[in-house]
Structure 1
Amino acid sequence: MMGEAIEFKSGTYLVNTAAGILDTRTKNGITCVWRGIVDQSGKLNCTWEFDWDKLERQGVDKLVGRIFVKSQTSPIYGSNFDVKITEENPEIKKQLGGGYNAYNVSYECSLIPHYENPSYDEMFEPSDKNDAILVVDGKKLHVSKAFLSYHSEYFRSLFSSNFKEGQMDEIPIGEVSYEDFALLLSTFYPNPVFPNDRTVETLLEMGRRFLVSSAVSSAEHHLISNSIIENEKMLWLADKHGMSKLLEKCVRRINTVEKAKKLKKSKEYKTLSDATKLKVYERLMNFI
């Protein structure tokens, strides 16, 4: 699955035989360091080094896109090219132009994050450790009753002898997609898959519906430690799902009048609870 494109646009720099680091920019969890130098043959040698460790922790597998180098004073051949950035190849090197001692250049870059897709089918294959079959969207998930019951009051009740489903060979789970349900189970069964910004909101909804508190805790930990979601939306998620630690952190981030105004203009502000709005107001009073 792909995320939204992340755009970089540099200023214009003079690159000659003595140039080094030209530009450093950080956007949406990616830091790009651009270096350039002109060699003895008059060619422009550029290097883009990408630090995207934060996106990797969010489940991004690779970044795919294009870089376009523009010159203000001289033509550059081959200046528009495709790039693929992976954990093994975080650096892009390109030799451009020729015949000049110096170049006035800038670059634009567009990168699309590609997320890893867990193999849910492999996670829930038949095993001698499993003793129940859940059917979601027509697909069968082989699971352990004891393990799911330990993590969720919903499953504890579902597998109880007091419910007819507890006596069924195959138990249907309705009104949920296979991907969303498998995402929820994958956070604790059989080997935990950690949330990321793409999955965290769905995971919170699933965790609340199926009473999996560990999924909500895992989502809160991600939002506190790794997320690059804007504070306004994060505050709304904390308020909606009762994540007190995250809520306090989001409120503390509102440390200027400008940030408070930005929150009030956001679409999320209208749906905040009165209690959270009061916390924001009390926080703002510290700066007046």
Structure 2
Amino acid sequence: MCFTPIEYTSDDVNSSIIDTKELDRGSKDGLTWTVTYSHQLALCHKLTDCAYLTWQFDFRKLKNEGSVDGFSGDIIVTYRKEKEKTAPIKFYVEFSNPQQEVVRRIGPSSDIKYSEKYPTCYITFDLHLTPYKLAYRNLPVDQAFLPSTPNTDGVLVVENRRMHINKTYLSVQSAFFQTMFTSNFMEKSMAEVPIGGVKYDEFARLLAIVSMKPVFPTDESVENLLALAERFLMPAIVCHVEHHLLTATHFDFFRLLSLADKHNLEKLTEKCIESLTTLGQISRNRHRPEYIHLSRDTKARILDHLTQA
């Protein structure tokens, strides 16, 4: 099944580099979006004030009609300096949540501003997004569980999708499946084992991380992955997600700290706390929900670190 890609180019919009501003709002072929510019602290080699773009995509109507299950493709961002445009920045995105937030860090705020005299930025972006149906999708996450996959000896069925797996290998990765395949449960002898209470796309991404051809986490998948890793007792998934958040994420500092605190990601928690150098970095952001809902223990560790710095 072929779908027509959604192609869109935004207007060249200027924004103060220190303000939060809606840059664009649009809709095409059933996909709607709102784009916001903001600046936040980012956990780079040190805490750095960076420019962010946030897309809020919505395709609930298409999803409810059953015509589209998700989108994949590229977002290309360009910002303009005083005399020339910078090289385009390309971000690959893929999402099946009908209300999906996509956050991308563009760069340090000092690099984004138009000139020293005018602390504004001029940003444009292009969308190149192709709709898909899960039944016909053939992304790497789907290819990991085809009938042709070597050394498979079992089938899991999720939302009527058949996933070919190796029971022994999966049992090593998951205490949940180890119990299922080695204890006296009926699933042990079933040719096809149904897995309920989970979406195929989310579950496939979970198992694909530890498949023979790994498909690594993305910012859009990490929260689902952490929740499913807890349900299916897969600690290796938590390690993969934490590594992604430490090395490849676009999330801002306070969102990272919140995720680390919520899911007991000790390495990430430690890196976040150690990166703080002034009380002002906290006081200016005390209103943020991510900080407000931190555990008492993490807030105490932050205070202890800053008072000893």
How high is the TM-score relative to the length of structure 1? Answer: 0.64
Q: What aligned pairs does 1:101-120 form with structure 2 within 5 A after superposition?
A: 107-112=122-127, 118-120=139-141
Tell me which amino acid in the other structure corresponds to 1:137: E
Q: Which ranges in structure 2 are unaligned for 5 or more consecutive residues? A: 17-49, 54-75, 95-120, 131-136
| Structure 2 counterpart of 1:218, from 231, 240, 243 | 240
Corresponding residue for 1:15?
Answer: none
In the alignment, is the contact (CA less than 8 A) between 2:173 and 2:234 conserved in 1? yes
Displacement of 1:285 in angstroms is 1.7
Name the structure 2 match of 1:79.
Answer: none
Q: CA shift at 1:258, angstroms? A: 2.3
Take 2:139 and 2:297, find their aligned partners in 1: how far apart are those partners? 38
Taking the aligned partners of 1:204 and 1:286, their CA distance within structure 2 comes to 33
* Among candidates 259, 263, 275, match of residue 237 of structure 1: 259
Distance 2:207 2:13 in 1: 37
1:1-288 equivalent positions in 2, closer than 5 A: 9=14, 27-28=51-52, 32=78, 34=80, 47-52=85-90, 55=91, 59-60=92-93, 107-112=122-127, 118-127=139-148, 129-286=151-308
> Secondary structure at the residue paired with 2:182?
coil
1:263–1:282 distance in 2 versus 1, CA, 3 Å: farther
CA distance in 2, matches of 1:113, 1:231: 28
Long gaps (5+) in structure 1: 12-25, 38-45, 62-105
- Cα deviation for residue 286 of structure 1 reads 3.4
Structure having the higher Rg:
1
Change in Cα spacing, 1:167 to 1:199, as seen in structure 2 (3 Å) is same
SS at match of 1:265: coil
Identical pairs, percent: 33
Please give the alpha-carbon distance, in whole angstroms, between the structure 2 residues aligned to 1:8 and 1:147.
52
Change (3 A) 1:247 1:111: farther
Residue 35 of structure 1 and its aligned partner are, at CA, apart by 7.0
Contact 2:79–2:86 (8 Å) recurs in 1: yes
Code of the residue aligned with 2:283 in structure 1: it is K
Q: What is the CA deviation profile of residues 179-214 of structure 1, one whole-angstrom value per residue up to 9, with x for unaligned ones?
A: 000010110113111112111222111212211111
Q: 1:270 Cα deviation (Å)?
A: 3.2
1:34 CA displacement: 4.4
Residue 261 of structure 1, CA deviation: 1.6
More divergent stretch after superposition (134-143 vs 263-272): 263-272
Alignment check: 8 A CA contact 1:186 1:192 kept: yes
Instruction: Give the Å deviation of 1:120.
Output: 3.7
Are the counterparts in 2 of residues 9 and 109 from structure 1 also a CA contact under 8 Å? no
User: For 1:271 and 1:181, how far apart are their aligned partners in 2?
Assistant: 28
Taking the aligned partners of 1:154 and 1:219, their CA distance within structure 2 comes to 19
What residue identity is the alignment partner of 1:217? C
Could you list the per-position Cα deviations for residues 235-261 of structure 1 after superposition, in whole angstroms to 9, with x for gaps in the alignment?
111111111110011112332222212
CA contact (8 A) 2:140 2:215 kept: no
**Counterparts of 1:163 and 1:8 in 2: how far apart (Å)?**
60
Aligned counterparts of 2:128 and 2:265: Cα–Cα separation in 1? 28
Task: Report the TM-score when normalising by structure 2.
Answer: 0.60
* Secondary structure in structure 2 of the residue aligned to 1:155: helix
Structure 1 residues 8 and 276: CA distance shift in structure 2, 3 A:
farther
Do 1:161 and 1:167's aligned partners in 2 also have CA atoms closer than 8 Å?
no
Q: 1:209 to 1:114 in 2, by over 3 A?
A: farther
When residues 248 and 60 of structure 1 are mapped into structure 2, their CA distance, relative to the original with a 3 A threshold, is same
User: Which secondary structure does the structure 1 equivalent of 2:88 belong to?
Assistant: strand
Letter in 1 for 2:256: M
Name the amino acid aligned to 2:227. E
